Amino acid sequence: MKELIKLVDEYLDKYLPISYPEDIFKAMKYTLSLPGKRLRPVMCLETARMLGGDMMKAMPTACAIEMLHVQSLIHDDLPCMDNDDFRRGKPSNHKVFGEANAVLAGDALLTLAPQTIIEKSAGLTSEQLVQIIHEYTKFAGAYGLIAGQVVDIESEGGKYIKSPEETLDFIHLNKTAVLFRLAVRCGAIIANASKDTAEEMDEFAKNFGLAFQIYDDIMDETSTFEEMGKTIGKDKNSGKLTYVSLYGLEEAKQKFNSMLKNCYAIIDKYDTKVIKEILNKIKSRISGV
């Protein structure tokens, strides 16, 4: 796991050389290079590998998904959105580079991601590239990540789909699960996996995404700024809809366990230390709460 994170960090650095005009590249690199768990790229690489593909062929796509993730963090932190001053333990992008550059750095990452997939993916066919970029656009845009963000903002104003429960699942299937889905689906494309296998991994990613969000909500209630690297207790203090605020801590933990069980049921079939390590890690942290 540590080796994979290191590898992802190296390639993220390599795929984004500082060019002219330097300020925008520095702003892009700043948030992209903050130490992170790199869960999404690692899931992509590991899915490609465990399904019989060449892991290194997945590196550009894995890094592109992290670029997309970081883009969403930069824009989410803006004063007009979540107005968050910290990210991964450091001042957020607009606090360092100003709002205009933070908007543009996000835009630039959103475009650099597919550019990296096209330019760096030696060994993939044009058909595979088109499939991967198609997945990217479906999950990154108004039918995916942005739908989740919009409904999240609206829910803060008390506007729900039908019920708060349905709204919360919609938000996080789109805001959180969507990037894990993108990661494993692209991994499956790169490994030339069967449609059934790809669908099963997609099911894994939906369960993992929601479990990971519940984990995050529980941690937001129970951990510290030092542990999480971002403002803690903010959701609670702002009365935000979360799995803990809606279901209470115990029921949220039950939901987490049930989704994690679904994840293991799929992943146990495969030879993947890495993904099991990720599941074990968040499981043990939640058991300790």
101 sits near a copy of itself (criterion: CB under 8 A): yes
CA dist 272 and 42 (Å) reads 12
Binding test (CB under 8 A) with a copy of itself, winner from 10, 54, 85, 99: 99
Q: Is 96 in the site for a copy of itself (CB under 8 A)?
A: no
Is residue 20 at the binding interface for a copy of itself, with CB under 8 A as the rule?
yes
Q: Which of the stretches 39-47, 125-133, 260-268, 278-286 binds a copy of itself when contact is defined by CB under 8 A?
A: 125-133
Instruction: Please name the residues in contact with 158: beta carbons below 8 A apart, sequence gap of 6 or more.
Output: none
Report the SS3 class of residue 90: strand
Q: Provide, rounded to whole angstroms, the least separation between the CB of residue 125 and a copy of itself.
A: 8
Span from 129-137, 232-240, 246-254, 260-268 in contact with a copy of itself (CB under 8 A): 129-137
Q: Judge contact between 39 and 271, C-beta under 8 A.
A: no
Q: Map residue 240 onto helix, strand or coil.
A: coil
x-marked contacts with a copy of itself along 74-93 as a string, rule CB under 8 A: -x--x-xx------------
Decide if 224 contacts 79 (C-beta within 8 A).
no
Residue 45 and residue 5 in contact, taking contact as beta carbons nearer than 8 Å: no
Interface pick for a copy of itself out of 114, 177, 180, 253 (rule CB under 8 A): 114
Six-digit token pair at 14?
A: 């390599």
Among 198, 59, 55, 211, which residue's Cα sits nearest to residue 135?
A: 198
* In the complex, minimum distance from the CB of residue 22 to a copy of itself, in angstroms, rounded to a whole number: 9
Min. distance of Cβ 57 from a copy of itself in angstroms? 16
3-state helix, strand, coil in the chain (%, to 5): 75, 0, 25
Site string for a copy of itself, 167-206 (x = CB under 8 A): ----------------------------------------
Q: Phi/psi class of residue 189: alpha, beta or left (left: φ > 0; alpha: ψ in -120 to 50)?
A: alpha
Give the range of 141-149, 183-191, 225-233, 248-256 binding a copy of itself by CB under 8 A.
141-149
- Separation of alpha carbons 256 and 217, rounded Å: 11
Site for a copy of itself in 58-77 (CB under 8 A): 71, 75
| Residue from 1, 34, 96, 104 binding a copy of itself (CB under 8 A) | 104
Residues 6+ apart with CB under 8 A from 209: 172, 173, 176, 177, 178, 179, 180, 181
Contact residues: a copy of itself, CB under 8 A: 19-21, 23-25, 28, 71, 75, 78, 80-81, 98-101, 103-104, 106-108, 110-112, 114-115, 118-119, 125-127, 129-130, 133-134, 136-138, 140-143, 146-147, 149-151, 153-154
